[in-house]
Chains A and B, each alone.
Chain A
Amino acid sequence: VGPLPETSLRRTALYERHAAAGAKLVPFAGWEMPIQYAGIRQEHLAVRRDVGVFDVSHMGQVESRGPQAPAFLQRVLSNDVRRIPVGGAQYSVLCREDGGVLDDAITYRLAECEFLTVTNAANHDKDLHWMQAQAAEFDVDVVDKAHCFAMLAVQGPRARNLVQPLADGSLPPRMRCAERSVAGAPTTVCGTGYTGEDGVELLLDPADAATVWDALTERGATPTGLGARDTLRLEACLHLYGNDLSEDRGPIEAGLGWCCKEETGFIGSDAVAEARRSGTAEKLVPFVIEGKGIARQGNPVIGGGVVTSGTYSPCLERGIGMAYVSGTRTEPGTEIEIDVRGTTRTATIERRPLYNQGGRERG
């Protein structure tokens, strides 16, 4: 018989480190991942004020290599792949023909015809099969690399100062990547992240992960779990696939038109162009709850719409979130009402991001 459903959760190379640090480990997309160590709020504030390190080894990687790798990715990814220099990085979405979003991803250009696309854990297998299916008409090898990498995110105002002395060369700037040795481990260092803070992400051999983790934490990086990763990304208004993005929604209504370059002819570009031209019935907006209460994913917006992400913001000390609302009332300052489990809560649509790096914290 087979294939049989996965019965046991996968563990990252850092499982022992998490357990030793007192992490609460929970199932996440088939992995046993740390949701928190000391507490979500204090981990969150450590990243905003100092530096935190996340194990994000559950993220997947797909390599696209070959003479037609650029042409292939131009077809599969919504952004203009030609604009990624060697040693560069780019955010994009993968769309179906009808414009529905299959995933969002960062793609690194490691060489002229060699790319690495970082996928969401829950979507990795789907993305891989989709990409391999589209690759048939191109001279390109699309290879699953998810087992080849551990991935650490070092984020916060002190992140670069903390990592730099461990590296054998200067760290790449934002949205660039470089091959470096970090704490003695061969590492692809990427100037990317998912917190709204400066920092780097490290792709390395799982066998080296514990050594690098130890070097980072010994220098003062706060172990930070997926709980704080979610509150951080939501303050920064970064999308979470499965919440704010899905196959039932297109990139235009999600506010991701900026990473769609329809003239490249990517899969779904006709649908995206039409949505951009005609507008969409709903749009994703960030909001802040006025007063008490915390809206959560799935709470209805009264009069039409739905909350797709909602949490408590440790920096703003209020309920925050993102919701799809009618395209006619998306102006910042507009008040909306949300049905939070039977209680009507008033929220105000805000500009993104809700939290600016080094910027405003509402009193």
Chain B
Amino acid sequence: VNVADSSYPDDLLYHSEHDWARVEGEEATFGITWYAQDALGEVVFFDAPDIGAQVTKDEPYTEVESVKAVSDVFAPLSGEIVAVNEALAEKPETINEDPYGEGWLVRVKLSDPSETESLMDAQTYEAGLE
């Protein structure tokens, strides 16, 4: 696994449970942050949720497992899952290798776009990691 140095892209919104959201119109893509994947270690299993399932901000909606532990993944925003990253079934380590790109987890149709106001920008999130 080749893991680049820590990074927190400016175009994402961040949740305190180390999840990110890339908001595009009425939809958003979710994933876990560099910090989260680094703390987990190599991800060996991503339990993809069902398309159509409802997710609720601040609530766990799926799990990722590394060799050493299982961790809940929290929804940074509420809505309905419209797509899941099927490629992770075969290559879950993509979450480590490219947590903000190919390692995305789900795409969600947002039920309350105003929830984005409570999320952090990259600088605030990164400052909280210190």
Tell me the A residues contacting B by CB distance below 8 Å: 24, 35-36, 39-42, 44, 227, 230-231, 292-294, 296, 311-312, 314, 319, 341, 343
Q: Are B45 and A292 in contact (CB under 8 A)?
A: yes
Query: Judging by beta carbons under 8 Å apart, are A227 and B67 in contact?
Result: yes
Instruction: For A294, give the chain B residue with the smallest CB separation.
Output: B65
| Min distance, Cβ A291 to any Cβ of chain B, angstroms | 11
Question: Whose C-beta in chain A lies nearest to the C-beta of B63?
Answer: A341
A24 to B1, CA, bound (A): 16
Whether B44 lies near A39 (C-beta < 8 A) is no
Question: Can you spell out 29 A-B residue pairs with CB atoms less than 8 angstroms apart?
Answer: A24-B41, A36-B41, A39-B1, A40-B41, A40-B66, A41-B1, A41-B42, A41-B44, A41-B67, A227-B41, A227-B68, A230-B68, A231-B67, A292-B45, A292-B47, A292-B89, A293-B47, A294-B44, A294-B45, A294-B65, A294-B70, A296-B69, A296-B70, A311-B67, A311-B68, A312-B45, A312-B67, A314-B67, A341-B70
Q: A312-B65, A341-B63 are in contact. Are A39 and B42 (CB under 8 A)?
A: yes
**Within B45-72, which residues are at the interface with A (CB < 8 Å)?**
45, 47, 63, 65-70
- Residue among A35, A41, A231 having the largest count of chain B Cβ atoms under 10 Å: A41
Q: Which residue of chain A has its CB nearest to the CB of B96?
A: A39
Give the distance to chain A from B2, nearest Cβ to Cβ, in Å. Answer: 10
Residues of A within 8 A of B45 (CB): 292-294, 312, 319
Q: Is the interface of A mostly helix, strand, loop or mixed?
A: mixed
Q: Number of B residues contacting the other chain (C-beta, 8 Å)?
A: 14
Chain B contacts with A in 10-63, Cβ cutoff 8 A: 41-42, 44-45, 47, 63
The CA of A44 and the CA of B1, in the complex, are separated in Å by 13
In the A-B complex, the 4 residue pairs with the closest CB atoms = A40-B67, A312-B44, A312-B67, A39-B42
> Chain A residues near B1 (CB, 8 Å)?
39, 41-42
Contact with A along B64-89 (1 / 0, CB 8 A): 01111110000000000000000001
Q: Is the CB of B68 within 8 A of A40?
A: yes
Residues of A within 8 A of B44 (CB): 41, 294, 312
Chain B residue nearest in CB terms to A44:
B67
The CB with the most chain B CB atoms within 10 A, among A35, A39, A44, is that of A39
Chain A residue nearest to B46 in the complex (CB): A292
Q: A292-B89, A293-B47, A294-B44 are in contact. List 13 more A-B contacts (CB 8 A).
A: A24-B41, A39-B42, A40-B41, A40-B42, A40-B67, A41-B42, A41-B44, A41-B67, A231-B67, A292-B47, A294-B65, A312-B66, A314-B67
A44 to B67, CA, bound (A): 11
Residue of B whose beta carbon sits closest to that of A227:
B68
* Whole-angstrom CA separation of A39 from B41 in the bound complex: 7
Neighbouring B residues of A343 by C-beta, 8 Å: 47
Residue of B nearest to A295 (CB): B70
